[in-house]
Amino acid sequence: MSEYKIKRGYDIPMIGAAERVVEDAERPGIVSIRPTEFRAVKPKIDVKDGDKVQVGQTLFHDRKRPEIRFPSPGGGEILEVRYGRRRRCEEIFIKLDSDESAVEHRAYSPDDARGLNRAQIVEALLDSGLWACLRQRPYSVIPDPESVPDAVFIAASDSGPLPFDASLALDGREEDFQLGIDLLAKLTEGKVHLCLAKRGAPARAFAEATGCEKHTFTGPYPSGLIETQIHYVMPHKKGRKVWYLDCQDVAAVGELFRTGRYPVARVVAVGGEGAESRKHFRTRRGVSVDFLLRGNSHPARNRFVSGGVLTGVSVSSESALGFYDSKFCVFPEGDDPEFIGWMKPGFGKVSRFRAYASALLPPRSPHLTANLGGGVRAHVATGIYEDVCAVDILPGYLMKAVLAGDFEEMDALGIHDCAECGLCTFVCPSKIEFGEIMAQGIDEFLREEEG
């Protein structure tokens, strides 16, 4: 057990965090999956409107790596395969049958499962489609099944605004979680690392977990972000690859081997001032925003974000919870002009700088929206990036290297260390899309790797 204190970062004050209770949500009528959310995956759709599908049946696969398949989060009928511009598939909707059938894989007793070798585990994960829940650092992409990682990291903390409480998620899934750890341990020649938040007593699943190294993290956001945590435990170096996955997906791995079925259960936090009922819900993968909010949030006024507000994806109200996400955030869009807003004292404004009155009198309900808060201007190197960056890079210089397209420089300055936490973009007074620039740089590296 090792402790890490992360000093730099910023806790964005945001009201409406989900209560620390878990409520069982009703069964949704429709679930969906967005092929666009998997980095570097070129989806080839295997179903069409009206097809009958089972839980776990492949809906699409990666064109470049056909063995990587993406399973259906529900059983029933394909309601719509929605295409966007340039025939890019944006979302696949499935209307659930009352009695969903599932693709049956081989089930094992826990002891038999623990006796499996690496190749068998990889094959079972690929077969079921659960492989997609693994991701690799650098690049945050689904890993190559042929490769062997130096370690596997389990993400079990959230330090961002409107946090998801991982310790609530695994109640009653302790055995599956442990089995998951034991199976994942076989994928790597190194160790399995379990990354926890320091505050509060850890859930039973984490406290009792064996066969893994536990780390605790304190400090402001992004101390709870797995990309940051990996940087502190095993920072990137040439040739090093580590895999990571969410703690709920670890339990899903255990469940898959125990039952032989693709597991769809998921606990999701719903938070933000635009959400009426702010709680953790026990629901399922692919559940839609509308369903979880029970249609109570105004889509024109609010922004729906699947995942963290700093790292997630903005989705429409009928769209689904992201494949990797365990929270929904709903907050005002803020697309109204504000009269001489920059001149006002700013009692409710949120800023890492302390140039508004809110720095003197912390507001009870800080006003935070998706508004950029000002016009886009030339980059002024205020030093604020470096002040909030939790990993050991100089973000301003890295940004310039990406803009110049200089691969050597990007590598030297640590593009693979960037946790893509979103803070640089958040604080930038010039309103530069730092995150977008980083993502471009990483994409260029990915293309380079493919040759």
Partner 1 sequence: MDFEETRDLWKKFESLRPLFKKGGKLEKLYPLFEAQESFLFVPPVTAKRAPHVRDAMDIKRLMSTVIVALLPCLLWGMYNVGYQKLAALGQTPGVFDCFLHGAWHMLPIVITSYAVGGVWEVLFAVVRKHEINEGFLVTGMLFPLTCPPTLPLWMVAAGISFGVVIGKEVFGGTGMNILNPALTARAFVFFAYPAFMSGDAVWTAVDSTLAVDAWSGATPLSVAAASQGSGVVQTLNAAGYTWLDGLLGTMPGSMGEVSALACLIGAAVLVASGVGSFRVMIAMAAGGIVGSFLMNAVAGDASPGIMWMPWQYHLVYGGFAFGLVYMATDPVSSAATATGKLIYGFLIGVLAILIRAVNPAYPEGVMLAILFMNVFAPLVDHFVVQANVRRRLARV
Residues 372-391 that bind partner 1 (CB under 8 A): 372-384, 386-387
* Using rule CB under 8 A, residue 312 touches partner 1: yes
Name, in order, each residue with C-beta under 8 angstroms of 433's C-beta and a sequence gap of 6 or more: 425
* Using rule CB under 8 A, residue 70 touches partner 1: no
Residue numbers 95-114 binding partner 1 by CB under 8 A? none
Q: Return the residue of 7, 85, 87, 237 that touches partner 1, per CB under 8 A.
A: 237
H or E segment and range at residue 91:
strand 89-96
Sign of CA dihedral 426, 416, 62, 255: negative
H or E segment and range at residue 388:
helix 384-388
SS3 state of residue 113: helix
The footprint of partner 1 on this chain (CB under 8 A) covers a number of residues equal to 78
Q: How far is the CB of 411 from partner 1 (least distance, A)?
A: 9
Residue numbers 1-60 binding partner 1 by CB under 8 A? 12, 14
> Nearest to residue 91, comparing CAs of 320, 324, 329?
320
Q: How far is the CB of 173 from partner 1 (least distance, A)?
A: 29
Is residue 112 within 8 Å of residue 92, measured between CB atoms? Answer: no
Q: Return the residue of 9, 35, 43, 161 that touches partner 1, per CB under 8 A.
A: 161
Q: How far is the CB of 200 from partner 1 (least distance, A)?
A: 25
Q: How far is the CB of 165 from partner 1 (least distance, A)?
A: 20
Q: How far apart are CA 348 and CA 334, in angstroms?
A: 14
Specify the stretch interacting with partner 1 by CB under 8 A; choose among 24-32, 54-62, 164-172, 336-344. Answer: 336-344
Q: How far is the CB of 189 from partner 1 (least distance, A)?
A: 17
> Nearest to residue 67, comparing CAs of 138, 139, 147, 140?
147
H or E segment and range at residue 177:
helix 174-185
Q: What is the DSSP letter of 407?
A: H
Specify the stretch interacting with partner 1 by CB under 8 A; choose among 116-124, 196-204, 294-302, 330-338. Answer: 330-338
Q: Return the residue of 140, 218, 317, 371 that touches partner 1, per CB under 8 A.
A: 371
Name, in order, each residue with C-beta under 8 angstroms of 296's C-beta and a sequence gap of 6 or more: 275, 276, 277
* Cα 4 to the center of its chain, rounded Å: 22
* Using rule CB under 8 A, residue 220 touches partner 1: no
Q: How far is the CB of 441 from partner 1 (least distance, A)?
A: 15
Q: How far apart are CA 39 and CA 446, in angstroms?
A: 10
Q: How far is the CB of 315 from partner 1 (least distance, A)?
A: 11
* Using rule CB under 8 A, residue 190 touches partner 1: no
Q: How far is the CB of 332 from partner 1 (least distance, A)?
A: 10
> Nearest to residue 127, comparing CAs of 176, 75, 58?
58
Specify the stretch interacting with partner 1 by CB under 8 A; choose among 28-36, 137-145, 277-285, 371-379. Answer: 371-379
Q: How far apart are CA 405 and CA 408, in angstroms?
A: 9
Q: How far is the CB of 129 from partner 1 (least distance, A)?
A: 26
Q: Please state whether beta strands 58-62 and 22-24 pair in parallel, antiparallel, or not at all (unpaired).
A: unpaired
Is residue 251 within 8 Å of residue 183, measured between CB atoms? Answer: no
Specify the stretch interacting with partner 1 by CB under 8 A; choose among 44-52, 115-123, 326-334, 441-449. Answer: 326-334
* Using rule CB under 8 A, residue 330 touches partner 1: no
> Nearest to residue 192, comparing CAs of 150, 229, 140?
150
Q: Return the residue of 11, 49, 208, 335 that touches partner 1, per CB under 8 A.
A: 335
Q: What are phi and psi of 168, to 5 degrees?
A: -85, -20
Q: Return the residue of 179, 427, 437, 442 that touches partner 1, per CB under 8 A.
A: 427
Site string for partner 1, 267-306 (x = CB under 8 A): ------------------------------------x-x-
The full DSSP string for 244-287 is: EEEHHHHHHHHHHHHHSS---EEEEEEESTT-SS-SEEEEETTB
Specify the stretch interacting with partner 1 by CB under 8 A; choose among 109-117, 185-193, 205-213, 308-316. Answer: 308-316
How long is the chain? 451
Site string for partner 1, 397-426 (x = CB under 8 A): x--------------xxx--x----xx-xx
Between CA 246 and CA 199, with CA 1 as vertex, the angle to 5 degrees is 65
Q: Return the residue of 169, 179, 230, 329 that touches partner 1, per CB under 8 A.
A: 329
* Using rule CB under 8 A, residue 317 touches partner 1: no
Q: Return the residue of 52, 342, 443, 447 that touches partner 1, per CB under 8 A.
A: 342
Q: How far is the CB of 103 from partner 1 (least distance, A)?
A: 33
* Using rule CB under 8 A, residue 260 touches partner 1: no
Q: Return the residue of 11, 23, 144, 392 that touches partner 1, per CB under 8 A.
A: 392
Specify the stretch interacting with partner 1 by CB under 8 A; choose among 137-145, 147-155, 177-185, 392-400. Answer: 392-400
Question: Token pair for residue 159?
Answer: 């330090």
